[in-house]
């Protein structure tokens, strides 16, 4: 009489039902955002080149996600420092900063393309442009700090402290500094009078795009953390 054997797990297991539903939903959501950004939302008024305004449906969400990533890195760093110095918190913070830099760079590039179309130059040191460069430099320094320290616990501790400092620096660079002086940059979603002064369809697409990009960030972040853990580590 033979003992039934359990077959080894498939080398390519399918998705769990929840993951399948989530992935399909995200694909549909972003496909709808892309469709709406070009074919449903009206061109923004007050722009020299009305069609160039559609780039904002990607530029704004990417800038938003970079801020979310930097704040998330700060939150995971707080967790690292206060909840037992767990490696996974440090790993999550480092991955969040890396992804935040990617989204921040994409926001900078898309913004400079729009700047060329609207203002005639890719770059003119507008306060909003300057503040995003400062954010890029600040968080690039985070990665430089990690690369410079060989001892893992020391590296993690210093990087965590730096990212916690970023909880103050990032909101200042994204929300305060650009408003301190005159800027050519379009008004933010909530303007200086505390009102939302844009077409409702444009607002809907902006918010939907921001939500979709945020979900995309957390999915990529999860995958990157799991890959890093599987490949042994936390070394930078």
Task: Determine the Cα angle at 159 with ends 157 and 165, to 5°.
Answer: 105
Between 83 and 181, name the residue whose CB sits nearer to another protein. 83
* SS3 sequence of 194-227: CCCCCCHHHHHHHHHHHHHHHHHHHHHHHHHHHH
Q: Is 229 among the residues that bind another protein (CB under 8 A)?
A: yes
Report the residue from 34, 113, 165, 215 that binds another protein according to the rule CB under 8 A: 34
Residue 49 — φ and ψ, nearest 5°? -110, 100
Mark 50-69 with x for binding to another protein (rule: CB under 8 A) and - for no binding.
Answer: --------------------
Between 111 and 166, name the residue whose CB sits nearer to another protein. 111
Q: Is 200 among the residues that bind another protein (CB under 8 A)?
A: no
Specify the length of the chain in residues. 236
Report the residue from 3, 4, 7, 12 that binds another protein according to the rule CB under 8 A: 12
* Interface positions, 68-87, toward another protein (CB under 8 A): 86-87
Q: Which stretch binds another protein (CB under 8 A): 59-67, 140-148, 149-157, 220-228?
A: 220-228
Q: Are 101 and 140 in contact (CB under 8 A)?
A: yes
The DSSP string of 16-78 is -HHHHHHHHHHHHHHHHHHHHHHHTSPPPTT-SSGGGGGGHHHHHHHHHHHHHHHHHHHHHHH
Report the residue from 21, 23, 121, 168 that binds another protein according to the rule CB under 8 A: 23
Q: In the complex, which residues of this chain contact another protein (CB under 8 A)?
A: 9-15, 19, 23, 26-27, 30-31, 34-35, 38-43, 86-88, 219-220, 223, 226-227, 229-230
């Amino acid at each position: 009489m033979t003992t039934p054997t359990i077959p080894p797990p498939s080398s390519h297991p399918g998705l769990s039902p929840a993951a399948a539903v989530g992935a399909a939903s995200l694909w549909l959501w972003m496909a709808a955002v892309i469709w709406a950004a070009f074919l449903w939302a009206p061109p923004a008024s007050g722009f020299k080149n009305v069609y160039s305004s559609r780039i904002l449906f990607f530029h704004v969400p990417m800038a938003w996600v970079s801020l979310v990533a930097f704040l998330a890195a700060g939150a995971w760093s707080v967790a690292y420092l206060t909840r037992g110095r767990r490696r996974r918190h440090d790993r999550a913070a480092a991955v969040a900063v890396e992804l935040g830099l990617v989204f921040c760079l994409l926001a900078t590039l898309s913004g400079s393309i729009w700047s060329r179309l609207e203002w005639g130059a890719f770059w003119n040191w507008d306060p909003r442009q300057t503040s995003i460069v400062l954010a890029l430099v600040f968080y690039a320094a985070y990665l430089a700090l990690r690369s410079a320290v060989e001892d893992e616990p020391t590296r993690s501790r210093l990087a965590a402290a730096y990212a916690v400092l970023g909880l103050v620096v990032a909101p200042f660079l994204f929300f305060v500094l650009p408003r301190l002086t005159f800027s050519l940059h379009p008004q933010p979603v909530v303007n200086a009078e505390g009102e939302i002064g844009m077409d409702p369809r444009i607002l809907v697409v902006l918010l939907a795009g921001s939500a979709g990009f945020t979900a995309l960030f957390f999915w990529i972040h999860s995958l990157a953390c799991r890959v890093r853990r599987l490949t042994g580590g936390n070394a930078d």
